[in-house]
Amino acid sequence: MLSSTAVGFGPLTEVHAASASREWWRSAVIYQIYPRSFRDANGDGVGDLPGITAELHHIAELGVDAIWLSPFYASPQRDAGYDVSDYCDVDPLFGTLEDFDALSTAARSLGLRVIVDLVPNHCSSEHALFQAALAAGPGSAERDMFLFRDGRGEHGEFPPNNWESHFGGPAWTRVTEPDGTPGQWYAHLFDSTQPDFNWDNRAVAAEFERILRFWLERGVDGFRVDVAHSLVKAAGLPDWGGRADGASSPGFPGHLAPMFGQPGLKGVYRRWREVLAEYGADKILCAEANVDPLPRMAEWVASGQQHQAFNFRYLSAPFAPGPLRGVIDESLSAFDAVGAPTTWVLSNHDVVRHATRLGLTEGDLASGDGIGAGGPTPNVTLGRARARAASLFMLGLPGSAYLYQGEELGLVDNLDIAPHERQDPTFHRTGGERVGRDGCRVPLPWTSSGPAYGFSPSGASWLPQPGLWAELARDAQAADPASHLSLYREALGLRREHDLGAGSLAWADELSVGGVLAFVNGTILVMLNLGCAPVELPPGEVLASSAPVGNALGPGEAVWLRF
Ligand code: NOJ
């Protein structure tokens, strides 16, 4: 870190220099569309591709650069589409390949790039390859596409190792062999309907190269890579002494687990990068790789590897000055060291929305868990106010930012989903002990009145929408300059105008006291007050603020000043 004196408000501690490389993804704001919950055109209660196409202009108007579509491929929908039975077709629930092409054309005409989800760790148990593996029996080439093993115990009655599924329960399921006898076990880091591929088998790599090319030929701009850190497993699939689902625990960092962060991953990514390059220099890979520490994650976005990785450390950092500054410094330093942009993210379809999280004044949340009856009760007003500040602060950071549909409306989780309405396999695999992720996946409100708040013409909705949607609907916010939506539009417009994504970061030392975080990016001063008392603002023109500001910034508020 360099220190230099500048500007009227004292010395600056420089952390990150403006980017000299101008590739679009280094500074892009990428908006995640969760197709099931975006907009339902055909009235069956589940969002679809024509619904997305119809409303895409709203997303373009917001001022983002690209959309990332969560899976819309053929799937039995046991894990909301992350259980793919045909990677090169659209599930009838969402439409057809022609609907995808229409969406893609519409996006391009609106100036939006399109990123699709790649799910290479596992497929659906209904995928033809897995069905063939079941039919072919032990020792076959078909079984070698997956992780089949004999069980432990005299009769093979125990799972081959102690790994657990992320959704709860063992990471192994025993099959009945074609001759009717109890047989081998197959590994699944997620639901039993999501068998893991064997990435040591070259035929698996070849199949995914085919899938990449299929979508690249249809013109996509890149792939978000699901559980990118888990494809390759340690030889021999050994037991693991840390948390059996491989998640980090004291003394057992996730990347040392036998099912995560294995060295063989780098060869996989290198090959994918070469394939992408054949289709143009601006196609990208973004790793969903929830491992620590950050420098380890950065190895996977070094030259020749993936382009970006989701910064889950930022998402899970406490809303407090020390931890937040710490993770920003560490992120910029780790990713700068390998020449990759840092990404920033606050919400997605797997976590409690940040407007809900930030409204919690007590209680802790584990990743992948939602809040249900009997859980902590968030203060919605506080959470939404803090979420405005958190988002404004994040959008001032240099690098690439990911937004999750509905956060621009300040949506909160629906905490009142009845057990029989819950769909997440986590809920069902843990007998309701973990409520899972349905709360953040509730269909969007487009209109404050009308069927399903404008989500579906029939009024159907695959998850119940809360009454609060009437107030938070897009049409109610569109014309209100004080709304959440207006703040996002304003911030995204200014971010683009001032090129903040490609910008720099230097902490304003004398302002970063008393719970305040203040940094300079170009000619903009970004301040977030995480202390308990209002702080005086330095001279400058207020460009955007999370709450009305005079000469002072209140607790839980953020501001952008031009100085
Ligand atoms: C991560 C995805 O984001 C999540 O929704 C899914 O359940 C798991 N990977 C398994 O694919």
Indicate the length of the chain as a whole number: 563
Q: Is 390 helix (H, G, I), strand (E, B) or coil?
A: helix
CATH 3.90.400.10 maps onto the chain at 128-187
Residue 1 pLDDT > 60, yes or no? no
Span 513-563: which CATH code? 2.60.40.1180
Calpha distance 3→13 (Å, rounded) = 5
CATH 2.60.40.1180 maps onto the chain at 513-563
Burial 462-499 (b: 16+ CB within 10 A, else e): bbebbeebeebbbebbeeeeebbbbbbbbbbebbeebe
Nearest to 173 by CA among 154, 151, 197: 151
- Does the C-beta of 402 come closer than 6 Å to ligand 1? no
**Cα–ligand 1 centroid distance for 512 (angstroms):** 37
pTM: 0.97
**Cα–ligand 1 centroid distance for 545 (angstroms):** 34
**Residue corresponding to tokens 């309405």:** 421
Instruction: Tell me the DSSP string of 122-161.
Output: B--TTSHHHHHHHHH-TT-TTGGGB-EEPPBSTTS-B-SS
Q: Is 205 helix (H, G, I), strand (E, B) or coil?
A: helix
**Residue corresponding to tokens 């949340």:** 365
- Does the C-beta of 148 come closer than 6 Å to ligand 1? no
Catalytic option among 157, 278, 421, 471? 278
Q: What is the mean pLDDT of the chain?
A: 95
Work out the pLDDT band at 365, boundaries 50, 70, 90.
Answer: low
Instruction: Tell me the DSSP string of 213-235.
Output: HHHHHTT--EEEETTTTSSS--T
295 within 8 A of 337, measured Cβ to Cβ: yes
Tell me what pLDDT residue 7 has: 67
User: Which residues make Cβ contacts (< 8 Å) with residue 248, sequence separation at least 6?
Assistant: 242, 254, 291, 292
Q: Tell me whether residue 191 is one of the annotated catalytic residues.
A: no
272 within 8 A of 210, measured Cβ to Cβ: no
Q: What is the mean pLDDT of residues 375-391?
A: 95
Span 128-187: which CATH code? 3.90.400.10
Calpha distance 498→523 (Å, rounded) = 8
**Cα–ligand 1 centroid distance for 16 (angstroms):** 32
412 within 8 A of 468, measured Cβ to Cβ: yes
Work out the pLDDT band at 253, boundaries 50, 70, 90.
Answer: confident
Indicate the pairing of strand 29-33 with strand 66-69. parallel
Nearest to 558 by CA among 312, 62, 548: 548
Catalytic option among 91, 99, 142, 226? 226
**Cα–ligand 1 centroid distance for 226 (angstroms):** 6
* Whole-number CA gyration radius for the chain: 24
Q: Tell me whether residue 278 is one of the annotated catalytic residues.
A: yes
Q: What is the mean pLDDT of residues 518-539?
A: 97
540 within 8 A of 557, measured Cβ to Cβ: no
- Does the C-beta of 228 come closer than 6 Å to ligand 1? no
Residue 2 pLDDT > 50, yes or no? no
- Please return the burial class of 432, using the count of CB atoms within 10 Å of its CB with bins 0-12, 13-18 and 19+: middle
Burial 291-329 (b: 16+ CB within 10 A, else e): beebebbbbbbeeebbbbbbbbbbbbbebebeebbebbb
- Does the C-beta of 117 come closer than 6 Å to ligand 1? no
Q: Say what percent of the chain tops pLDDT 70.
A: 98
**Cα–ligand 1 centroid distance for 293 (angstroms):** 21
Instruction: Tell me the DSSP string of 487-501.
Output: HHHHHHHHHHHTTGG
Crossing angle between the packed helical segments 265-277 and 202-217, to the nearest 10 degrees: 30
Among protein residues, the one whose CA lies closest to atom 5 of ligand 1: 350
Task: List the strands of the sheet with 284-287, edge to edge.
Answer: 308-309, 284-287, 222-225, 113-118, 66-69, 29-33, 400-404, 343-345
**Cα–ligand 1 centroid distance for 342 (angstroms):** 22
Q: What is the mean pLDDT of residues 461-488?
A: 97
Write the pLDDT tens digit of every residue in 184-223: 999 999 999 999 999 999 999 999 999 999 999 999 999 9
Amino acid occupying residue 322: G
Among protein residues, the one whose CA lies closest to atom 11 of ligand 1: 82
Query: Atom of ligand 1 at shortest distance to CA of 425?
Result: 7
Among protein residues, the one whose CA lies closest to atom 6 of ligand 1: 82
**Residue corresponding to tokens 């590739």:** 23
H or E stretch including 184?
strand 182-187
Q: What is the mean pLDDT of residues 50-63?
A: 98
Crossing angle between the packed helical segments 97-109 and 49-62, to the nearest 10 degrees: 10
**Cα–ligand 1 centroid distance for 110 (angstroms):** 29
- Does the C-beta of 350 come closer than 6 Å to ligand 1? yes
- Please return the burial class of 141, using the count of CB atoms within 10 Å of its CB with bins 0-12, 13-18 and 19+: exposed
Write the pLDDT tens digit of every residue in 275-309: 999 999 999 999 999 888 899 899 999 999 999 99
426 within 8 A of 167, measured Cβ to Cβ: yes
Query: Atom of ligand 1 at shortest distance to CA of 119?
Result: 11
- Does the C-beta of 82 come closer than 6 Å to ligand 1? yes
Tell me what pLDDT residue 368 has: 57
Among protein residues, the one whose CA lies closest to atom 10 of ligand 1: 82
- Does the C-beta of 227 come closer than 6 Å to ligand 1? yes
- Does the C-beta of 79 come closer than 6 Å to ligand 1? yes
Write the pLDDT tens digit of every residue in 304-362: 999 999 999 999 999 999 999 999 999 999 999 999 999 999 999 999 999 999 999 87
Q: What is the mean pLDDT of residues 169-175?
A: 97
Choice from 123, 189, 350 to test ligand 1 binding pocket (greatest atom count within 8 A of CB): 350
